[in-house]
A and B are shown apart, each in its own frame.
Chain A
Amino acid sequence: EPEVTQTPSHQVTQMGQEVILRCVPISNHLYFYWYRQILGQKVEFLVSFYNNEISEKSEIFDDQFSVERPDGSNFTLKIRSTKLEDSAMYFCASSPGTGVRGTPLHFGNGTRLTVT
């Protein structure tokens, strides 16, 4: 069964550094998402992306965050200047249909970001 793959599985960075988290969504999917989960807390929506542009974003997704689909297969999340509070598990997801209701979101296994 096709999977959403994320790399790296664990990223350690120093405060103030830029990080790029990478995702390869399922190949025929049209909608892409980033969510994050701070340890022990809820999974939180960051951003959705469709047709090469952001379709929806949360308050968390401020100017420090950006997303890009640089080619036909990758979907990236960039944090320009990381803060301690950015430490979390970041999940990429994709769906083939009309957003979250088309068919269920398929999540990757996440990248654990640790900011020191």
Chain B
Amino acid sequence: GESVGLHLPTLSVQEGDNSIINCAYSNSASDYFIWYKQESGKGPQFIIDIRSNMDKRQGQRVTVLLNKTVKHLSLQIAATQPGDSAVYFCAENINGGNMLTFGGGTRLMVKP
């Protein structure tokens, strides 16, 4: 069935470098996307969202890029810090329903 998925299960970066976490989705009806961060022992924490009428959105140190042509979503974290170490999930929403479909997660490890 259609699902949201991730290319890389683990990403290791040096402190201060930029991180890019990728997500592929296959449901063309998805029109709203969210990135969540999950630290050990905690629930998912909202990072940034984007609607399908946009291809880029920036927040504080984070940027989300949406490529609808290839159904690809990415999260860029600038100047990665040890506190960014966590599992990152993309999630999609279809046509305004109340359900989020989560991807499988990528673990980001930041080396000092």
Contacts and interface: CB of A to CB of B under 8 A. Distances in A.
Contacts of B46: 104-106
Interface string B91-105: 101001111111111
B44 interface: yes
A99 B102 CA distance: 16
Given A91-B44, A107-B44, A107-B45, A101 B32 contact: yes
Contacts of A41: 104
A12 interface: no
For chain B, give the interface size range. 20 to 34
A41 B100 CA distance: 15
A42 B98 contact: no
Given A50-B98, A100-B32, A100-B93, A42 B45 contact: no
B43 A45 contact: no
A96 interface: no
B112 interface: no
Interface of A: 4, 31, 33, 35, 41-45, 48, 50, 55-56, 58, 91, 93, 98-101, 104-110
